[in-house]
Amino acid sequence: MYRPIFVGKTNKMNIQTRKATKEDATLIAQVVAMAIGDESATDYCGKDYLNVLEEIVRMEDTQYSYRNTIIAECDGSPAGALVGYDGGMLHPLRKQTLAVIHRYNPGLVMAEDETQAGEFYMDSLGVLPKFRGAGVGKALLLAMREKAFAEGHERVGLLVDFENPKAERLYLSIGFERVDTKVFLGHRMWHLQCSK
């Protein structure tokens, strides 16, 4: 069970995390688009991708559901979000996600699996530009990791692009380690994990 936590004061801002609600759907859709990139979002969902993603977020049984999301707030203002779920649930969650996307892009073939059973997967992390560099990403990662371990997961994993060493440094600084590599959405990625 997720407990809201007070993360601390950074750059004179109070950062807190909380479980997302349906009312956070617009922010979560923006975060998912940030994580996969506007070009990929357009390829998957069409030009109106933010509305499509928002529809997916509002559902309870999709990869990007609000139920799988933690929100960070800085001084009470939404600042970022992180989507994460049991890797063993990827296929059922993806099935529901694709059911929506196929209404807009019937020919879409989904990419390879980014996670698997035995791993709690941190899927999409994003921080609004105004709050970047204030510790929001780190607060979200720590809160989601705590949630995963509290739910009984032994390992937490994520992917990071070879070309994003700054993000990798953040993940390594909080206990993640490289375990292998993957090619995902045409990009070479490090697969990182941390254990309980």
CA distances from 110 to 83, 101, 124, 156, 165 (A): 19, 10, 16, 23, 26
Q: Provide the whole-model pTM.
A: 0.91
**Is 40 inside any structural domain?**
yes
CATH of the domain at 49: 3.40.630.30
Per cent of the chain over pLDDT 90 is 76
With respect to residue 119, please indicate whether it lies within any of the assigned structural domains.
Answer: yes
Flag whether 188 is in a domain: no
The count of structural domains within the chain is: 1
Q: Is residue 192 part of a domain?
A: no
Amino acid letter, 11: N
What confidence tens digit (pLDDT) does each residue in 111-164 have? 789 999 999 999 999 999 999 999 999 999 999 999 999 999 999 999 999 999
The pLDDT tens digits for 70-87 are: 999 999 999 999 999 999
**pLDDT band per the 50, 70, 90 thresholds, residue 7:** low
Measure the CA–CA gap between 167 and 89, rounded to whole angstroms: 26
Which residue range(s) make up the domain with 23?
5-158
Residue 75, in any domain of the structure: yes
